[in-house]
Amino acid sequence: MPQAAYQPSMLDVTDAPPTLGPLPGHLRRHPLGRGAWIDHLPGWVHGSDQVLDVLLRDVPWRAERRTMYDTEVDVPRLLCWYGAGRPLPHPVLPAARQALTHHYADELGEPFVTAGMCRYRDGRDSVAWHGDTQGRSAHTDTLVAIVSFGSPRDLLLRPRGGGASRRFPLGHGDLLVMGGSCQRTWEHASPRPPVRSAPGSASSSAPPASPEPPGGGQPSLCSAGSVSNSQASGMAARAPRPGPGLVFGWRRHPVVTERASRPPTGRARNNAQGRSPPSALRREGPPMTQSPTEPRSRWSPWSVHGDGRTIRPGDVVHPDERLSWPRTMGVGVQHVVAMFGATFTVPLITGFPPATTLFFSGLGTLLFLVITGNRLPSYLGSSFAFIAPVLAAKSGGDIGPALGGIVVAGAALALVGLAVQLVGAGWINRLMPPVVTGAIVMLIGLNLAPVAWDGGGEGGVRAQPLIAVLTLAAILLFTVLFRGFLARLSILLGVLVGWLVAALSGGLDPATVTGLREAAWVGLPEFHTPSFSLRAVVLIIPVVLVLIAENAGHVKAVAATTGRNLDRQLGRAFMGDGLATVLAGSGGGSGTTTYAENIGVMAATRVYSTAAYWVAGAAAVLLGLSPKIGALILTVPAGVLGGATTALYGLIAILGARIWLDNRVDFHDPVNLLTAAVAVIIGAADYTLTAGDLSFHGIALGTAAALVVYHGMRAIARLRNTTPTSGPEPEL
């Protein structure tokens, strides 16, 4: 139900100077989906008439024209751009910018620095569907804040790729902020005035009949200037001045841009006192902090969420909150179950001791939570990216050199994290755009395909084809028969079915069965010491690029589902995973990465508490101290592994394609097309280059090819001024 909002601008004396209303506790947040959200506050600027008079009189408005389909057309609105450092035309505007910077400090990490003015002269002015992505990559989030003056005007938003639109009315002095992934996953428009509906309601609207401004994604969208004389937002009726209307908008400094006046440092801090955290913003439905929260104790980093037992609809348990300890332990056990299948699959394929891998997986998770300051809920399990290079590095049977390569890769990732923490993450996005990252992930999956067939020798599907087919069929059936949490365990359940079939048909190796029978219930895991070989390091070090992509994607996913900006945790995430990998490689465990499986558990339970991950990590350490558990895992026969890895390696390859799709990589651009084509073929065919005692295989060569082809072609294209134009044609 729309909430009535008092607007002093209707009643105050017109000579009083304009003022700003409070932000904490008054903004209403509207989640849009896919990590996007809208904050809306009617009547934020009190005394808007005075501001409007100044803007109409003093702003140097400019009409623009653009070329569309070989014809020059007028842009149907007036514009004015205020860059960083340029004085704004009314004193209330810098005050508004400062208030917004303070309020969104945790989500911005840096101040709003630029401002755009858009004036809609009458009901014929409009702007078409677009997202404000100019100067940023398509996978970088930003915030756009809009303050509207003049007659009411609607702002429409719709998902990229099509779907029902949502309508938000903007009136005199209203504030609207587009945040999260809004500029990447949604488009917005200000069409010619349509029939009004309730704020945030779904509607089906035709696209505006006018183009977006030049450059596609110009500074902040605006919504004002309608000839309507009323506002259907549940606010008190008023008669705004007819005629011109405009929007004054800010956007944050771009995170990644070649046009920025200064690169972001990632160190911006703004600890404004008296400001409520983003979780206190009101949302559609029950607010995120509506439930009373018990203050955290002196010795606990978590406060109890609500009554500790229930989670209200639309609410989530944030990383710095927890449920009661029995419920938290239950969620932690779910995280252990979710990671079990993938964590044990890697040591089974590579020949590492499973109990040791589990032990260091739990220990690494606890270390990761300490390094990230309990702000990033994540479980660190065995990374599939290490499988192919580890198999190549231990071709002689000794796992020592492979462990040494894992240690070096972890140290390299930790150093990357330190660099990101000091100077920001922009250089990573420039070094590894989505087309490169997706190609590297895909070539790893395709490079592993022969291992699924023969297990790197006499195993895999070829060893037990019937058991392999039954295992794969069980995985496929469980995926479609079950929903939610059980569906995410389909691989683990499929392996269980395959193991039972093998046990009943005499397909288990008698030696492993004897080892299971003789194994102790409690004991230390089997530790191994790494040895260092340049050949192994060269084989394994490219995995660092995959770990960077995996960790960055995990941080973005958690940020999107919790509604919190976690960009400043990216460096710590790299350092945490890197040091956990160093720890695992030093004792005989597999290299680690943050697990997507556990993001699914968080989405299903709506519990993002890091307390649950402390429980999961501690449980994994205790299970790793049982040799019986490790011996049980070793009894899984070759055919079961072959069936399971057929699905797993294919999923890794398809994940690379998903990176391309999620980031809207333009394959009409020949640079993108050839980068992916060359890298994937080199990796899939497992090209080999020998230099003395060193051998470079498909993953290392494919990774190098992706980086060299992309950046080399881009550099030449810029020098020759032949950079291809990409993107969809503008809409009329």
The percent of residues in the chain predicted with pLDDT above 70, rounded, is 73
**Which domain-ending residue is among 660, 685, 711?**
660
Q: Which domain holds residue 215?
A: 39-256
How far is residue 700's CA from residue 534's CA, in Å, rounded to a whole number?
A: 14
Query: Are residues 481 and 629 part of one domain?
Result: yes
Give the mean model confidence (pLDDT) for residues 50-55: 86
Asked if residue 271 belongs to a domain, the reply is no
Per-residue pLDDT for 398 more than 60?
Answer: yes
Q: Above 50 in pLDDT, residue 262?
A: no
Lowest mean pLDDT among 32-41, 88-97, 440-449: 440-449
Mean pLDDT, rounded, for 118-123: 81
Determine the pLDDT at residue 6.
34
Query: 586-601: b or e for each residue (b if 16 or more CB lie within 10 Å)?
Result: bbbbbbbbbbbbbbbb
Q: Is there a domain that residue 609 lies in? A: yes
Give the C-alpha separation, 86 to 103, whole Å. Answer: 22
Confidence of residue 485 (pLDDT cuts 50, 70, 90): low
Instruction: Give strand pairing partners of 73.
Output: 66
8-state DSSP, 456:
T
CATH number of the domain encompassing residue 190: 2.60.120.590
- pLDDT value of residue 561: 61
Do 496 and 581 fall within a single domain? yes
Q: In this structure, what is the dihedral angle of CA atoms 205, 211, 212, 215, given to the nearest 10 degrees?
A: 150
The count of structural domains within the chain is 2
Strand 28-33, strand 62-68: pairing: unpaired
Instruction: Examine residue 287 and state whether it is found in any structural domain, yes or no.
Output: no
Q: Is the pLDDT score of 412 beyond 90?
A: yes
> Residue 204: its pLDDT value, please?
31
Q: Which whole number is the average pLDDT over 609-622? A: 91
Mean pLDDT of 489-513: 84
Same domain, 72 and 179: yes
For 142-168, how does the pLDDT look when each residue is reduced to its tens digit (9 = 90+)? 788 899 888 888 888 988 767 788 888
- 498 & 424 share domain: yes
Residue 239's pLDDT band, with cuts at 50, 70 and 90, is very low
State what percent of residues in the chain have pLDDT above 90.
Answer: 12
Full DSSP string of 313-348: TT--B-TTEE--HHHHHHHHHHHHHHHHHHHHHHHH
Give pLDDT, residue 273.
32
Lowest mean pLDDT, pick from 212-226, 522-536, 718-732 = 212-226
Residue 461 carries which side chain, given as an amino acid letter? V
What's the pLDDT at 255?
Answer: 29
Confidence (pLDDT) at 61 = 85
Give the pLDDT of residue 116.
83
- The reply to whether 545 falls in a domain is yes
Looking at the DSSP bridge assignments, the partners of residue 690 are: 695
Looking at the structure, tell me whether residues 158 and 248 fall in a common domain. Answer: yes
pLDDT, tens digit (0-9, with 9 covering 90-100), for 434-468: 888 888 878 877 887 887 787 666 677 888 889 88
* 528 found inside a domain: yes
Report whether pLDDT(666) > 90.
no
What is the structure's pLDDT at 456?
A: 60
Q: What is the DSSP letter of 674?
A: H
- Chain-centroid distance of CA 628 in Å reads 38
Q: Are residues 245 and 326 in the same domain?
A: no
Instruction: Mark whether 115 and 196 lie in a shared domain.
Output: yes
Domain boundary among the residues 611, 643, 660 is at 660
Whether 395 has a pLDDT exceeding 50, the answer reads yes
Q: Bigger pLDDT: 278 or 577?
A: 577
Q: What is the pLDDT averaged over residues 42-59?
A: 86
Instruction: Give pLDDT, residue 13.
Output: 40
pLDDT of residue 489: 67
Q: pLDDT tens across 173-209, in order?
A: 899 999 888 888 888 888 876 544 444 333 333 333 3
**Would you state the pLDDT for residue 581?**
94
**What does the alpha-carbon distance between residue 36 and residue 29 come to, in Å, rounded to a whole number?**
10
Using an 8 Å Cβ cutoff, are 43 and 7 in contact?
yes
Confidence of residue 279 (pLDDT cuts 50, 70, 90): very low
The mean per-residue pLDDT over the stretch 13-20 comes to 68
pLDDT-derived band at 366, boundaries 50, 70, 90: very high
Examine the domain organization and report whether 242 and 339 are in the same domain.
Answer: no
Residues 401 and 479 in one domain: yes
Residue 597, φ and ψ in degrees, nearest 5? -55, -35
Confidence of residue 678 (pLDDT cuts 50, 70, 90): very high
Q: Measure the N-to-C terminal CA separation of the chain; round to a whole number of Å.
A: 35
Whether 333 and 246 share a structural domain:
no
E strand intervals along 86-164 = 112-120, 127-130, 144-149, 153-159
Please provide the DSSP assignment of 681-721 as one string.
Answer: HHHHTT--EEETTEEE-HHHHHHHHHHHHHHHHHHHHHHHT
Q: Between these two residues, 149 and 314, which has the higher pLDDT value?
A: 149
Per-residue pLDDT band for 300 (boundaries 50, 70, 90) equals low
594-601 average pLDDT score: 72
Which residues neighbour 464 within 8 Å (Cβ) at sequence distance 6 or greater?
A: 502, 507, 637, 638, 639, 640, 642
pLDDT at 604 (0 to 100): 64
Contact 110, 253 (CB under 8 A): yes
Share the mean pLDDT of the chain.
Answer: 74
446-449 contact pairs (CB < 8 A, 24+): 446/649, 446/653, 446/680, 446/683, 446/684, 447/388, 447/683, 447/684, 447/686, 447/698, 447/699, 447/702, 448/384, 448/387, 448/388, 448/645, 448/649, 448/652, 449/649, 449/684
651 and 551 share a domain? yes
Read off the pLDDT of each residue in 520-527 and give the average, rounded to a whole number. 86
Examine residue 693 and state whether it is found in any structural domain, yes or no: no
Average pLDDT over residues 573-589: 93
From 599, 633, 660, the end of a domain falls on 660
Where is pLDDT greater, at 389 or 344? 389
| 568 within some domain | yes
CA 207 vs CA 155, 163, 255, 581: distances in Å: 12, 12, 30, 50
Residue 2: predicted pLDDT: 37
Distance (Å, whole) CA 537 – CA 354: 23
Q: Is 596 contained in some domain?
A: yes
Most confident of 164-173, 350-359, 675-684: 675-684
Phi, psi torsion values for 516, nearest 5 degrees: -65, -40
What's the pTM?
Answer: 0.53
The set of residues, in sequence order, having a beta carbon less than 8 Å from that of 144 and lying 6+ positions away, is 132, 177, 178, 179, 182, 183, 220, 221, 249, 250, 251, 252
The closest of 583, 540, 586 to 400, measured between CA atoms, is: 586
Q: Is the pLDDT of residue 18 over 60?
A: yes
499 and 631 housed in the same domain? yes
Q: Which residue has the higher pLDDT, 722 or 87?
A: 87
Taking CA atoms, 270 is separated from 103, 299, 535, 556, 596, in Å, by: 9, 26, 47, 22, 31
Q: What is the C-alpha to C-alpha distance for residues 467 and 483, in angstroms, rounded to an integer? A: 25
Neighbour count for residue 195 (Cβ, 10 Å): 9
Q: What is the pLDDT of residues 187-197, one digit of tens each?
A: 888 887 654 44
